[in-house]
Amino acid sequence: MGADFGHRGERLGLPKEGPGSIAGPGRRIGALFVDGWLVAMIAYGLLAKGDASEANLWTSPLYFVMAALLLSTTGTTLGKRLFGLRVVRLDGGRATIPQVLLRTLLLCLVVPPLVWDRDTRGLHDKAVGTVEVRI
């Protein structure tokens, strides 16, 4: 009660606001929604040929492939880019391929991103040593 923990990301040496600061939950959820919507449209239109039940089977694997490919090459997905976000290692460098693969797998499991620390980093980010920052 009354303890001042500083701003989000202060413990990690990140700025309070602007480029390089930790992305807020609203931006991250918005980006995830856009990515999920895009994947659902691709699954429904191209892979399942209009069959909604078959499209549901393709959504998670397709999201995994899309996110893993884009995060490992550019550090951002289409939704993250739209919201001005990037996934980086704690030292500011590009996340490695194993980090991206494990992070994306944990994100697909749904539970790890729902548990945050005081910096609003989900368990999926903490487990692999990454952080989602503003660009």
What is the per-residue pLDDT across 87-113, written as a single tens digit (0 to 9) for each? 999 998 999 999 999 999 999 888 777
pLDDT of residue 2: 46
Residues 6-38: pLDDT tens digits?
788 888 888 888 898 899 889 999 999 999 999
Question: Does residue 13 sit within a domain?
Answer: no
Question: Does residue 58 sit within a domain?
Answer: yes
Residues 58-79: pLDDT tens digits?
888 999 999 999 999 999 999 9
Percent of the chain with pLDDT strictly greater than 70: 96
Could you tell me the residue range of the domain that residue 86 belongs to? 23-134
Q: Where are the alpha helices (DSSP H) in the chain?
A: 25-42, 52-73, 78-82, 97-108, 111-114, 123-128
Question: Does residue 42 sit within a domain?
Answer: yes
| Average pLDDT score, the chain | 88
Compute CA distances 56 → 29, 30, 47, 53, 76, whole Å. Answer: 20, 21, 10, 5, 24
Question: Does residue 6 sit within a domain?
Answer: no
Q: Amino acid identity, residue 129?
A: G
User: Per the structure, how many domains does the chain have?
Assistant: 1
CB contact at 8 A, 80 and 95: no
